[in-house]
Structure 1
Amino acid sequence: MRTTVERVRAVPVAADPPADDEAAGRDWPRFWPLLLLGAAAVPGTALFAFGRWGDEPAVHAWRTVCLAVTLQALPFLLLGTALSGAISAFVPARVFSRVLPRRPALAVPVATAAGVVLPGCECASVPVANSLIGRGVTPAAAFAFLLSAPAVNPVVLTATAIAFPASPVMVLARLLASFATAVVMGWLWLWLGREQWLRPAVRHTGHQPGHNRWTEFRRGFQHDFLHAGGFLVVGAMAAATFNVSVPRSVLDTFSGSPWLSVLFLAALAILLAVCSEADAFVAASLTGFSPLARLTFMVVGPMVDLKLIALQTGTFGRAFAVRFSAATTVVAIVCSVLIGGALL
């Protein structure tokens, strides 16, 4: 008669389920480089097929603006997704717990200041913020970094100083207004934010012991770049459509009113979707508008624009993107008016 132990051993044991990263790896086919090639070739083939219609001045301008926005942001998106994959695969979670204060309210301004240390375009900040949340950083701090990184880094501030050589206070006003907006938005998320607004995939775990880190890096990079790149193109197409369709006379209509000019340039920054490293030169060219309105343009643009909304929708979900973008727009305008009114 067999003992109880022998009976237990005789029971067949089900095979262990595949690891999460192995299951995720099967989501990406081995021929994924062909997908990149197709994504690059299909738009060009479509433009070629339209032939003469594509030579119309309006279509040519639309195509130029769309490609300019996409190519301008693509290197930063590439850098951001690579940094995102590196954080997820190589940086232990305990690093962030040591660097950031344990109290979320204090972690928000610290993460905002980190935008100076880890500068980047708004396209790069989205996947990095996603990885930070996955590594255990409180979402409020990650979102504060998402807003501050493209707005308070040395490259942007230097470009602003060059674009406004006769108004150095504009650089200080932009720094303070952008920093204040990021901190306020981080605190607002602590107060009013809901985890249910975030897509479940955002709340993923980091590196798992026993798995190859370079494989995790490659899979994370593939997913973030291909996923976010599609939304970047959609945002660039929307920005190009606005550039072509809105006549110059509309701009002149709004420039005469102090308050309407602020609101109009805030909306223009969202629709134009100019990269934060170049928006200061666009703002300097809008000579018909007040300095306060142009400051609002430079504060709102790096934090809320069409391509950024599209990237946030694809990364965090539509429920988050709609609420966060609307709140950020209001806070950025208020901070710009208060700080710009005091300094400019």
Structure 2
Amino acid sequence: MVRVTTTPTTDGEPTSAPARRGRIDSLVVLCVLLLVAMLAQDQLVSAFDAPAVRTGSTVFVAVCVQAMPFLVLGVLISGLIAAFVPASLLRRVLPRNTAAAVGVAGVAGLALPGCECASVPVARRLMQQGVPPAVALAFLLAAPAVNPIVLVATAVAFPGEPMMVLARFLASLATAVVTGWLWARLGRAEWIAERALRRITPRPGASRWAVFAETARHDLVEAGGFLVLGGLTAAVLNVAVPAAWLTSLGGQLVLGVIVMALLAVVLALCSEADAFVAASLSALPLLPRLVFLVVGPAVDVKLVALQAGTFGRAFAVRFAPLTFLVAVVCAVVTGLLVLGGAR
């Protein structure tokens, strides 16, 4: 395996540097924790044998198992972009006008079937290849919400409501594009951590496949730890939020929209499974359930953890609230126009 670290040069381009030895990274910590869990399995089971703990454990495993295949897909695509797609090609394909490029990136989300975890490493790699951050972020939001698998799953979950699929597509695409436009106007370069923009440069003579393998390994190790952290947060919040709270929302549209938006952040469901959860909440009108489906793929606790680990905390504390607000507004407006409001 190629060991690569990067250090910036005076002209801003990273160069190869000797790898530091003896450094304890997240992969070592994860292996140690897994080893301890296996050796002390019986003691852990007896110590945490409680219904709430069992429920939280189930949610934690479900979140990680749902997301991990798509995270792997994302880092593989990220590696392919780094190894085989030159920055000059991306600059030729995308419009020079940032506003137009954001729109193209939103529509390009149709091409990547995956959840939000897959889009984070891809967006990072696009930035490293010279794509403007606003364009990469529009793709990050669009890919998990408007791809064909998500739309088909929504159609299956709502067989009697074909307009729900159209409403979800339009609201999610609008969320990605509007957020990209706002970030292009209001976002600042210093809000994104320098490490997110620093390209991995292989040792001299390394093949493209070596670059691909090193890039994918680097992204998987870095993002995997934050996925686990996000899954743990989702599990705790799932146990802490009483299910009985939803039973009183049937006739309260505004409160239902607010609660379902917050619930989407807390539950951290995969975008390809959330439609079935929304469909099961039949006591609620369609509008709050649409808000749930639009907000979830755009901002949830595991996605915020991934973004903070990838782009830095300064980015996450600004991007997550912006995305949440835009997603709620786009979902409500689209629902009123397409679904007829409170149906």
Provide the C-alpha distance between the structure 1 equivalents of 2:49 and 2:253, rounded to a whole number of angstroms: 40
Aligned partners of 1:108 and 1:187 also within 8 Å: yes
Deviation at 1:281, TM superposition (A): 0.3
Aligned partners of 2:134 and 2:180 also within 8 Å: yes
Deviation at 1:216, TM superposition (A): 2.4
Provide the C-alpha distance between the structure 2 equivalents of 1:265 and 1:41, rounded to a whole number of angstroms: 39
Provide the C-alpha distance between the structure 1 equivalents of 2:201 and 2:87, rounded to a whole number of angstroms: 9
Provide the C-alpha distance between the structure 2 equivalents of 1:37 and 1:28, rounded to a whole number of angstroms: 16
Alignment of 1:1-344 (within 5 A): 20=14, 22-23=16-17, 25-26=19-20, 37-45=31-39, 48-205=42-199, 210-212=204-206, 213-344=208-339
Provide the C-alpha distance between the structure 1 equivalents of 2:27 and 2:187, rounded to a whole number of angstroms: 38
Provide the C-alpha distance between the structure 2 equivalents of 1:39 and 1:217, rounded to a whole number of angstroms: 28
Distance verdict in 2 for CA 1:39–1:84, change over 3 Å: farther
Distance verdict in 2 for CA 1:95–1:337, change over 3 Å: same
Provide the C-alpha distance between the structure 2 equivalents of 1:203 and 1:279, rounded to a whole number of angstroms: 32
Provide the alpha-carbon RMSD of the alignment. Answer: 2.4
Distance verdict in 2 for CA 1:290–1:202, change over 3 Å: same
- CA distances 1:189-245 after superposition (whole Å, capped 9, x unpaired): 111000010001122246679542333222222221111111111111111112112
TM-score, length of structure 1 as denominator length? 0.89
Provide the C-alpha distance between the structure 1 equivalents of 2:280 and 2:22, rounded to a whole number of angstroms: 45
Deviation at 1:165, TM superposition (A): 0.2
- CA distances 1:137-189 after superposition (whole Å, capped 9, x unpaired): 01111000000000000000000000000000000000000000100000001
Distance verdict in 2 for CA 1:20–1:133, change over 3 Å: closer
Provide the C-alpha distance between the structure 1 equivalents of 2:114 and 2:252, rounded to a whole number of angstroms: 34
Deviation at 1:32, TM superposition (A): 9.1
TM-score, length of structure 2 as denominator length? 0.89
Distance verdict in 2 for CA 1:46–1:314, change over 3 Å: farther
Aligned partners of 1:144 and 1:186 also within 8 Å: yes
Any stretches of 5+ residues in structure 1 without a counterpart? 1-15
Provide the C-alpha distance between the structure 2 equivalents of 1:28 and 1:291, rounded to a whole number of angstroms: 55
Distance verdict in 2 for CA 1:318–1:236, change over 3 Å: same
Q: Which moved more, 1:78-87 or 1:61-70?
A: 78-87
Provide the C-alpha distance between the structure 2 equivalents of 1:129 and 1:258, rounded to a whole number of angstroms: 35
Q: Which moved more, 1:74-83 or 1:266-275?
A: 74-83
Quick one: percent identity of the two aligned structures? 52
Deviation at 1:61, TM superposition (A): 1.0
Deviation at 1:28, TM superposition (A): 8.8
Q: Which moved more, 1:263-272 or 1:47-56?
A: 47-56
Matching residue's letter, 1:216:
V
Matching residue's letter, 2:264:
A
Provide the C-alpha distance between the structure 1 equivalents of 2:57 and 2:18, rounded to a whole number of angstroms: 36
Provide the C-alpha distance between the structure 1 equivalents of 2:27 and 2:191, rounded to a whole number of angstroms: 33
**SS of the residue aligned with 1:101?**
coil
Provide the C-alpha distance between the structure 1 equivalents of 2:18 and 2:215, rounded to a whole number of angstroms: 10
Provide the C-alpha distance between the structure 2 equivalents of 1:209 and 1:95, rounded to a whole number of angstroms: 23
Aligned partners of 2:16 and 2:203 also within 8 Å: no
Matching residue's letter, 2:305:
A
Runs of 4+ in structure 1 deviating by more than 6 angstroms, as ranges, are 27-33
Provide the C-alpha distance between the structure 2 equivalents of 1:163 and 1:127, rounded to a whole number of angstroms: 29
Aligned partners of 2:145 and 2:169 also within 8 Å: yes
Tell me the number of residue pairs that the alignment of Structure 1 and Structure 2 aligns: 328
Q: Which moved more, 1:122-131 or 1:214-223?
A: 214-223
Deviation at 1:42, TM superposition (A): 4.0
In the other structure, the counterpart of 2:6 is none
Matching residue's letter, 1:49:
Q
Deviation at 1:38, TM superposition (A): 3.2
